[in-house]
Amino acid sequence: MPMKILIKNIKGLAGAYEESPLFIRGNSMENLPMIENAYLAIENGVIADYGKMDDLSGITDWRNLEIIDADGRFVLPSWVDSHTHLVFAGTRELEFEDRIKGMSYEDIAKRGGGILNSAAKLAYMSEDELFERARPRIEKVINDGTGAIEIKSGYGLSTDAELKMLRVIKRLQKEYPIRIKSTFLGAHALPKEYAGRKSDYVELIIKEMIPQVAAENLADYVDVFCEDGYFDLKDTLAIVDAGLDHGMKSKIHVNQFNALGAIPALVERGVVSVDHLEVLGEGDVEALASSNSIATALPLCSLFLSIPYTPAVDLMSQDAVVALATDFNPGSAPSSNMTLAVSLACIKMKMTPNQAINAATINGAAAMEISETHGSIAPGKVANVIITEKCEHLSYLPYSFGSPAIDGVILNGEIIRVFE
Ligand SMILES: [Zn+2]
């Protein structure tokens, strides 16, 4: 692979800064810098330079230089998918059929399906097998233009199985060039053997799981499914605090089906992100507006479950920082397609293409605390970019929904794929 890449004749270079912001708040998310007729230079895996073609005064050293003639294509930062459950044992298409026939997600969960179904499949699977199953998924993620991803545990629900999942994530980190952050989600559902003894399970998480996860340095964050029938606000805050005691901040599943009033308390504890937010209650938006916690919308899950979409326009109009992620998981969002998430944000949530792209890049990076290196194009930042198909406007990318109009993917300054 060449050490240097020059992309020339770029129709529009989007999301490029001399000094990138770490996130973009509220209505400012409409601002996506665009340089027409541009070039982008990459060297040693990072962005070296960019500008207008007229100013491409001189690459003096043409050795080992790979030139890509974008010829009317746009270039933008790679997607950052800040919320996924990519490591899982098996798919759940039979539940999909049940839901088509009329059962709700909650009905399926009560019957022992849903997350517990995933946990049962994972319990007896070896770490090697789990890793092998995750491989093609992460390879697809990379090929589709995602340059950084967060992956959660949460289908183990026992100390051994949760640690097994986190070790698989660690192996993916070592094996693949994509930036990965890892989140411990022991509080994803109550295991069957703890039925009626939720406080015992929460205690297991706090006294045993979190200390072991921290001791083996297996996770960057702690997560909880804070929802009626899962973990309430008190459980959630106790787990968040236990994470903080062990040096791990939180990213929390909250307000998917019910507004439990958790967001102000979570924001006060400095959670990195609150994710889902399909339902918002009093005080929730205000709390987000005055904090740096990222409000992460998961439109693929809303589509797949036919539940409301996160009111991103309201959140932005009140100055929250909004990110987009896939929630890739076998039950409620079996797709890792970030480009489709961006399309849905435009179609169903009425975000503009600029807002959705900012949400899926720099704000996603902020939701993983990697926006100093990822999520935008700036000198010295990791060279993760997408090259679109030939098109007149960048909005063609979300417009051509369902079939990502992406002709090229560069990750860490290496060409993953490019048009001929
Ligand atoms: Zn999730």
pLDDT tens digits, 14-69: 999 999 999 999 999 999 999 999 999 999 999 999 999 998 876 666 778 899 99
How large is the average pLDDT for residues 149-167?
A: 96
The least confident of 23-32, 94-103, 179-188 is 94-103
How far apart are the CA of 343 and the centre of ligand 1, in A?
A: 19
How far apart are the CA of 86 and the centre of ligand 1, in A?
A: 10
How far apart are the CA of 224 and the centre of ligand 1, in A?
A: 10
Check pLDDT > 70 for residue 1: no
What is the per-residue pLDDT for 60?
Answer: 63
What is the per-residue pLDDT for 214?
Answer: 98
pLDDT in tens, 24-35: 999 999 999 999
- Whole-number mean pLDDT of the chain? 95
How large is the average pLDDT for residues 152-165?
A: 96
Distance between CA atoms of 166 and 171, rounded to whole angstroms?
9
Contact between 315 and 295 under an 8 Å Cβ cutoff? The reply is: yes
How far apart are the CA of 124 and the centre of ligand 1, in A?
A: 23
What is the per-residue pLDDT for 117?
Answer: 81
- Assign 3-class secondary structure to the chain: CCCEEEEEEEEEEECECCCCCCCCCHHHHHCCCEEEEEEEEEECCEEEEEEEHHHCCCCCCCCCEEEEECCCEEEEECEEECCCCCCCCCCCHHHHHHHHCCCCHHHHHHCCCHHHHHHHHHHCCCHHHHHHHHHHHHHHHHHCCEEEEEEECCCCCCHHHHHHHHHHHHHHHHHCCCEEEEEEEEECCCCHHHCCCHHHHHHHHHHHHHHHHHHCCCCCEEEEEECCCCECHHHHHHHHHHHHHCCCEEEEEECCCCCCCCHHHHHHCCCCEEEECCCCCCCHHHHHHCCCCEEEECHHHHHHHCCCCCCHHHHHHCCCEEEECCCCECCCECCCCHHHHHHHHHHCCCCCHHHHHHHHCHHHHHCCCCCCCCCCECCCCECCEEEEEECCCCCHHHHCCCCCCEEEEEECCEEEECCC
How large is the average pLDDT for residues 120-149?
A: 96
How far apart are the CA of 401 and the centre of ligand 1, in A?
A: 23
User: Structure tokens of 387?
Assistant: 């090259």
What is the per-residue pLDDT for 2?
Answer: 56
Q: Which residues of 338-351 are buried (b: 16+ CB within 10 A; e: fewer)?
A: bbbbbbbbbbebeb
The least confident of 192-196, 239-243, 293-297, 347-351 is 192-196
Check pLDDT > 90 for residue 126: yes
How far apart are the CA of 83 and the centre of ligand 1, in A?
A: 6
Q: What are phi and psi of 13, to 5 degrees?
A: -100, 115
How far apart are the CA of 312 and the centre of ligand 1, in A?
A: 18
How far apart are the CA of 87 and the centre of ligand 1, in A?
A: 12
Domains of the chain and any CATH numbers: 4-78+375-417 (2.30.40.10), 80-366 (3.20.20.140)
Distance between CA atoms of 84 and 277, rounded to whole angstroms?
16
Distance between CA atoms of 273 and 419, rounded to whole angstroms?
36
How far apart are the CA of 88 and the centre of ligand 1, in A?
A: 12
User: Structure tokens of 341?
Assistant: 């998430």
How large is the average pLDDT for residues 139-165?
A: 97
How far apart are the CA of 52 and the centre of ligand 1, in A?
A: 41
The least confident of 21-30, 111-120, 139-148, 352-361 is 111-120
pLDDT in tens, 237-278: 999 999 999 999 999 999 999 998 999 999 999 999 999 999
How far apart are the CA of 33 and the centre of ligand 1, in A?
A: 31
Q: What is the pTM of this model?
A: 0.96
